[in-house]
């Protein structure tokens, strides 16, 4: 299909509480969780490399519960990309797992900000009052099991929403293109400039289209979310395009998340 699909009608929202979970892969909590619910791979994102610590950051200086730590994370070049992926996962599944090594700084910072922005229930194996204390792994799993069972039943066989992260390689005015070529408004098509970051997401529409859907983050940090674009307008992300990126889209999903 040469033209972009029509806007997809909104579907009825499932009556599930929104939940965001912060966890570390080097914890017993993660082992318990993944062994019992491998389906959570499709709602997980690994931020360990994308939010890696800089030389001036003290790993013992607080946790993601602390504003100062979250400020440091929000300053990183990759934050806006991570945010868009997190928002998309949460919108589709109403549950999000943010993963790093220990679930203390990186994943907890993003999870806490998502919790603040969208009113999600925040779940962490760390005690928010005594932050060096861990919750018992089996009790932690038992507490979240009902919500994980819901996800398994409703979304367990679905794909991870993230398809890839690209760089826009040329200017493209979607609304103008659609208006000239097809006579439509093109409101559901992106306007893109070279160097902008495209976060491509899984197409959940029933249309058979050669166009892709995703969110664009401009070089100024402005976001245009969940619109269509022709794939010829983007190219692979090279590390020199985007400082501090280390295999960002691979690490967001991990091979064992898909």
Considering 13-17, 118-122, 137-141, 236-240, the range whose residues carry the highest mean pLDDT is 118-122
In the predicted structure, residue 258 carries a pLDDT above the cut 60: no
Tokens in use for 78?
Answer: 């990759």
In the predicted structure, residue 12 carries a pLDDT above the cut 50: no
Span 70-106, pLDDT tens digits = 999 999 888 999 999 999 999 999 999 999 999 989 9
Cβ atoms of 96 and 114 closer than 8 Å: yes
100 beta partners = 24
Q: What is the mean pLDDT of the chain?
A: 84
Q: If you search the block for the tokens 């925040």, which residue do you land on?
A: 122
Cβ atoms of 242 and 80 closer than 8 Å: no
Task: Select the CATH number that applies to the domain covering 162-245 from these four: 1.10.1280.10, 1.20.1250.20, 3.40.50.2000, 2.30.30.40.
Answer: 2.30.30.40
Q: What is the pLDDT of residue 236?
A: 84
Q: What is the pLDDT of residue 3?
A: 60
Span 100-153, pLDDT tens digits = 999 989 999 999 999 999 999 999 988 766 666 788 888 889 989 999 999 999
- Rounded to the nearest 10 degrees, the angle between the axes of helix 79-93 and helix 137-155 is 70
Domain ranges (residues) in the chain: 19-159, 162-245
Integer angstrom CA distances of residue 106 from 4, 47, 171, 214, 246: 37, 7, 34, 24, 15
Cβ atoms of 205 and 9 closer than 8 Å: no
Cβ atoms of 254 and 98 closer than 8 Å: no
Integer angstrom CA distances of residue 76 from 49, 130, 160, 244: 11, 27, 24, 8
Q: How far apart are CA 190 and CA 104, in angstroms?
A: 37
- The SS3 assignment for 23 reads strand
Strands (E), the chain: 19-24, 44-46, 95-100, 121-123, 162-168, 172-173, 191-192, 197-201, 212-217, 223-229, 234-236
């Amino acid at each position: 299909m040469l033209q972009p699909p029509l806007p997809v009608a909104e579907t009825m929202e499932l009556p599930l509480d929104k939940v965001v979970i912060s966890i570390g892969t080097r914890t017993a909590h993660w082992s318990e969780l993944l062994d019992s619910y491998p389906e959570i791979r499709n709602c997980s994102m690994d931020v360990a490399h994308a939010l890696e610590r800089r030389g001036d950051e003290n790993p013992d200086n607080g946790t993601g519960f602390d504003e100062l730590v979250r400020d440091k994370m929000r300053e990183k070049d990759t934050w806006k990309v991570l945010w868009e992926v997190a928002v998309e996962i949460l919108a589709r599944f109403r549950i999000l797992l943010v993963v790093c090594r220990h679930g203390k700084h990186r994943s907890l910072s993003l999870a806490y900000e998502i919790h603040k922005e969208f009113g999600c229930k925040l779940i962490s194996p760390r005690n928010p009052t005594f932050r060096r204390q861990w919750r018992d792994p089996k009790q932690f799993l038992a507490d979240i099991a009902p919500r994980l069972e819901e996800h398994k039943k409703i979304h367990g066989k679905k794909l991870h929403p993230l398809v890839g992260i690209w760089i826009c390689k040329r200017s493209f005015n979607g609304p103008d293109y659609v208006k000239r070529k097809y006579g439509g408004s093109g409101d559901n098509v992106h306007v893109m400039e070279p160097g902008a970051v495209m976060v491509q997401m899984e197409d959940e529409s029933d249309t058979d289209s050669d166009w892709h859907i995703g969110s664009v983050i401009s070089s100024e940090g402005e976001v245009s979310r969940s619109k269509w674009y022709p794939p010829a307008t983007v190219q692979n992300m090279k590390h020199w395009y985007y400082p501090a990126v280390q295999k960002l889209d691979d690490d967001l999903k991990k091979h064992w998340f898909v």
